[in-house]
Amino acid sequence: MTSQTGHPPARRPELRDGVLHTDLCIIGAGSAGLSVAAGAVQMGASVVLVEKHLMGGDCLNTGCVPSKALLAAAHAASVVREGSRFGVSGHEPAIDFAAVHAHVHGVIAAIAPHDSVERFEGLGVTVLRSAAHFTGRDELEAGGQRIRARRFVLATGSSAAVPPVPGLAEVPFLTNETIFGLTDRPDHLVVLGGGPIGVEMAQAFRRLGAAVTLVEREHILPKDEPEAVAILRAALLREGVALEEKAAVTRIDRAGNGVELTLEGRPPIQGSHLLVAAGRKPNTSGLGLEAAGIEATPRGITVDAGLRTSNRRVFAIGDVAGGPQFTHVAGYHAGLVIRAALFGLPVKTDYAALPWVTYADPELAHVGLTEAEARQAGHSVSMLTQPLSGNDRAQAEAATEGLIKVVLGRRGRILGATIVAPRAGEMIGLWGLAIQKKLGIGAIAASLAPYPTMSEISKRAAGGYYTPSLFGPRTRRLVGLIQRVLP
């Protein structure tokens, strides 16, 4: 007998004396939890998955998926607006914001079946739709059901952090959890926070016709290379986003139907809507961590290098573990935990080749160490840079604002790379693989890239490492000597 997946039926949790016994109990059905559940049940473990809210978590419902769908709509508007660069009549597009909303939620609906209760129950996972809390080190309760497991996985994610700005709690504001519910375009969106979410949403709403002001207490995208950020900053300003960097917000008040931000030493800013994009906080409340002997801080649940908590039966993965907050990190964590929880293998997190992307236009993609991080770590560093303007495909597409910057250690070892270009996120993987495999710059220089593509910029940058010696006096003398003796 086989299941609907074509595999033998999954082992099911057993109900004994009112307690559900299982190999693995996962709390949270976001990217991290779903990945563990799907992998573990198909490998033969009995699995209970507990989710109190939406299957798919933040990524599907209020994060990666809707934001990228909105960015696609904004890109379409920009293409219409800027067609005159190519001899095509460009004009201000008519934006049907309700239709944009429908597009965003249509994308969510198209992906949702992959993350649904029905799919996971079909795989053999027991899904409980309820909040969960620990009642002991090896037991929790969800919806009145006691559950005991050999191993637990906490994958409860994170939510938008609300900064302690006076007056903020008394005014209406949006977060990533509510902004994709708008069916009417804001007249003037004020974005509080200049990280990736703030930058992406500021550009998207500006392209969709809203006035936008972005307020950041430091500089936008502070974790990225300054040269790369400068290009993206210029793009935002060129498109009409008002930037207020190094701006301290001292108070926020209602202003008619909108809001007013008071800034230290600057004129106040009024807007119709306020988006708070000032970081994330781990979802740990109500889990009964103390009852299970699980230590946590405001940054998240405390884990070791193998993602185990202070309770050896319990792992914490994804955003709630207090490390890098990316969906691809959640998937990476899931793979490690499956190896540790199901096979008892030693695992250790390694973020040396961790990529991240800000999906603005142009995209800003990074992997490994920045120049500042490499210097701080004591590396003897050198840099390779190439402007996108030297790339033929970029010239053909009138998209020449960008660059690649590669950080090298001794003997040309690749430590990090940053790319600013259209679809930079699709190009950064080459450099991540190089860092992961500890390759030298020669491996990239010797690769063969198709022409004409923007990805050629990687090979060109790598080739620059050899330019001083290859075309220097020593080579010229050597070539001259060989030519004199060759028949």
HSE of 123 in the Cβ direction (CA atoms, 13 Å)? Answer: 25
Mean pLDDT for the chain?
95
Calculate the alpha carbon distances from 466 to 212, 298, 349, 441 in Å: 45, 48, 34, 9
Write the pLDDT tens digit of every residue in 429-466: 999 999 999 999 999 999 999 999 999 999 999 999 88
Q: Was domain 355-468 assigned CATH 3.30.1330.90?
A: no
Measured CA to CA, the distance from residue 95 to residue 100 in angstroms comes to: 8
Q: What is the mean pLDDT of residues 19-31?
A: 97
Which strand (E) or helix (H) includes residue 297?
A: strand 296-297
Write the pLDDT tens digit of every residue in 118-138: 999 999 999 999 999 999 999
Neighbouring residues of 161: CB distance < 8 A, sequence distance ≥ 6: 278, 279, 280, 281
Measured CA to CA, the distance from residue 302 to residue 269 in angstroms comes to: 40
* 155, 26 Cβ separation under 8 angstroms: yes
Measured CA to CA, the distance from residue 370 to residue 86 in angstroms comes to: 36
pLDDT of 485 above 90: no
Tell me the one-letter amino acid at 449.
A
Phi, psi angles (nearest 5°) of residue 383: -120, 145
- Ranges for all domains in the chain classified under CATH 3.30.390.30: 355-468
pLDDT of 6 above 60: no
Which pLDDT value is given to residue 7?
63
Which pLDDT value is given to residue 471?
75
Name the residue with tokens 């992959």: 114
Name the band, by pLDDT with cuts 50, 70 and 90, for residue 2.
very low
Q: Note the residue count of the chain.
A: 487
pLDDT of 486 above 90: no
Measured CA to CA, the distance from residue 40 to residue 31 in angstroms comes to: 14
pLDDT of 46 above 70: yes
Give the closest residue to 145 by CA, choosing from 53, 41, 287, 48: 48
Measured CA to CA, the distance from residue 208 to residue 168 in angstroms comes to: 26
Tell me the one-letter amino acid at 103.
H
Name the band, by pLDDT with cuts 50, 70 and 90, for residue 4.
low
Give the closest residue to 378 by CA, choosing from 351, 410, 406, 414: 410
* 372, 390 Cβ separation under 8 angstroms: no
Structure tokens at 481: 């000597």
Q: What is the mean pLDDT of residues 262-285?
A: 97
Neighbouring residues of 47: CB distance < 8 A, sequence distance ≥ 6: 10, 13, 22, 23, 24, 25, 26, 37, 40, 41, 124, 125, 126
* 352, 416 Cβ separation under 8 angstroms: no
Measured CA to CA, the distance from residue 305 to residue 262 in angstroms comes to: 43
- Ranges for all domains in the chain classified under CATH 3.50.50.60: 14-55+116-159+281-343, 168-278
Burial readout 309-320 (b: 16 or more C-beta within 10 A, e: otherwise): bebebbbbbbbb
Measured CA to CA, the distance from residue 455 to residue 449 in angstroms comes to: 7
Q: What is the mean pLDDT of residues 162-175?
A: 96
Measured CA to CA, the distance from residue 483 to residue 486 in angstroms comes to: 5
Q: What is the mean pLDDT of residues 377-386?
A: 96
Write the pLDDT tens digit of every residue in 57-108: 999 999 999 999 999 999 999 999 999 889 998 899 999 999 999 999 999 9
**Three-state secondary structure readout of 51-100:** CCCCCCHHHHHCCHHHHHHHHHHHHHHHHHHCHHHHCCCCCCCCCCHHHH
Write the pLDDT tens digit of every residue in 177-191: 999 999 999 999 999
Give this prediction's pTM: 0.94
Give the closest residue to 252 by CA, choosing from 215, 201, 198: 215
Provide the edge-to-edge strand list for the sheet that holds 242-244.
242-244, 211-215, 188-192, 273-276
Q: Was domain 168-278 assigned CATH 3.50.50.60?
A: yes
Which pLDDT value is given to residue 466?
87
Structure tokens at 200: 């992406």
CATH fold for domain 14-55+116-159+281-343: FAD/NAD(P)-binding domain (3.50.50)
